[in-house]
């Protein structure tokens, strides 16, 4: 039950962040978080963003189409966003595992991108 609640909270948080710039109340502050938003999160669809979170933090699967979006997003954005999430209190205990999954997903997605 707790795992499901965490999934729901993370999913809602990702969706909120993806749509945050269109709602002034949730506008992201200036500085590094704003720059990260401008440079990274707007490059991917909400569905692919959620699929990536599911694969790294649970046992989801990222499609080849989402892999192409991820590679277009760029490695720096991918690394920074996943590290930001992995640093949250509910994930920090397993951070090395999540960072390894992040790297494995990136390697797989790069290979998908280059085979097309």
pLDDT digits (tens, 9 = 90+) for 35-60: 766 677 777 888 998 899 999 999 89
pLDDT score, position 26: 35
DSSP strands (E only) in the chain: none
Burial category of 109 from C-beta neighbours within 10 Å (exposed 0-12, middle 13-18, buried 19 and up) = buried
pLDDT score, position 85: 83
pLDDT score, position 32: 61
Q: Regarding predicted confidence, which is higher, 9 or 1?
A: 1
Burial category of 29 from C-beta neighbours within 10 Å (exposed 0-12, middle 13-18, buried 19 and up) = exposed
Sign of the CA dihedral running 16, 18, 62, 57: negative
pLDDT score, position 25: 32
What average pLDDT score do residues 90-108 get? 92
Can you tell me the distance from the alpha carbon of 26 to that of 16, in angstroms, rounded to the nearest whole number? 8
């Amino acid at each position: 039950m707790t795992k499901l609640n965490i999934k729901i909270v993370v999913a809602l948080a990702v969706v909120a962040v993806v749509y945050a710039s269109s709602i002034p109340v949730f506008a992201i502050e200036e500085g590094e978080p704003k720059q990260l938003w401008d440079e990274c999160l707007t490059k991917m669809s909400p569905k692919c963003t959620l699929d990536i979170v599911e694969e790294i933090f649970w046992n989801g699967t990222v499609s080849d189409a989402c892999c192409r979006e991820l590679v277009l997003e760029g490695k720096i954005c991918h690394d920074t966003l996943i590290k930001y999430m992995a640093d949250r209190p509910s994930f920090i205990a397993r951070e090395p595992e999540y960072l390894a999954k992040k790297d494995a997903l990136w390697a797989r997605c790069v290979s998908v991108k280059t085979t097309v």
